[in-house]
Amino acid sequence: MSDATAAPTLRGAAVGRTIGIGLMYGLWKPRVLGAWRVPATGPVILAVNHSHNIDGPMLMGTAPRPVHFLIKKEAFVGPLDPFLHGIGQIEVDRTTVDRTAISHALGVLENGGALGIFPEGTRGEGDFASLRAGLAYFAVRGGAPIVPVAVLGSTERRGRLIRGLPPLRSRVDVVFGDAFDASAGDGRRTRRALDEATLRIQAKLTAHLESAKRLTGR
């Protein structure tokens, strides 16, 4: 059993990115659009729609920078536990205010890293219809711009060999949007400010998803 209290490392996330590149490009055909929009340095949050289990690994393997994802603790089982911690991913307990996870996520941003978040909180339609306040909190508190990311094609068809995965060598589109600041620019961190930021974020993410669908023909 690995130590969930240990802070994630950039070196670990870099190893995770290398593994992700090999797996994602080996199993499928990612088409990456707009990766240049991700700031090359400094803190950044990648906000990803979530409709399939491969969406996180797909982003890890296609993003231009190593990514530390906030991942539900239920995924940290068996050998996946030390593996996910080892590649710099952050375990989060969604049933409570997980202060360790919050501290680790803010630490990633303070160190100028890239934090990956599924703002919908769980796998669903992947349409950003229901956003949780966590994304706004990290963006405002961490002073990090948000880059919206749309992963499209992961749920269109089921594979023949493994029914739960997209067909091997099928195309999956990963579309990065323009970075934006979620705060109102007045320095407020109140509950109302976070609620307002969440609405602004939702509008931006939804608009990007629609744009990505038009761009890719999905």
* The predicted structure's pLDDT at residue 183: 82
Distance in angstroms (rounded) separating the CA atoms of residues 112 and 108: 6
* Residue 139 DSSP class: H
Query: What is the pTM for the complete model shown?
Result: 0.91
Q: Return the sign of the alpha-carbon dihedral for residues 101, 54, 129, 187.
A: positive
Q: Smallest Cα–Cα separation from 71: which of 107, 30, 104, 38?
A: 104
Tens of pLDDT, residue by residue over 48-89, are: 988 788 899 999 999 999 999 999 899 999 999 999 999 999
User: What are the CA-CA distances from residue 128 to residues 26, 39, 76, 166 (Å)?
Assistant: 29, 23, 25, 21
Helix (H) or strand (E) holding 209: helix 191-216
User: Which residues, 6 or more positions from 172, have their beta carbon under 8 angstroms from its beta carbon?
Assistant: 24, 28, 29, 30, 31, 54, 58, 151, 152, 153, 154, 166
- Whether residue 43 is predicted with pLDDT greater than 80 in this model: the reply is yes
What string of DSSP letters covers 33-89?
E-GGGS-SSS-EEEEE--SSTTHHHHHHHHSSS-EEEEEEGGG--TTHHHHHHHTT-
Q: Return the sign of the alpha-carbon dihedral for residues 95, 196, 122, 81.
A: negative
Residue 201 and residue 119 in contact, taking contact as beta carbons nearer than 8 Å? yes
User: Which residues, 6 or more positions from 74, have their beta carbon under 8 angstroms from its beta carbon?
Assistant: none
Q: Residue 158's pLDDT band (boundaries 50, 70, 90)? A: low
* The predicted structure's pLDDT at residue 163: 59
* The predicted structure's pLDDT at residue 124: 47
Q: Per the structure block, which two tokens stand in for 216? A: 């890719």
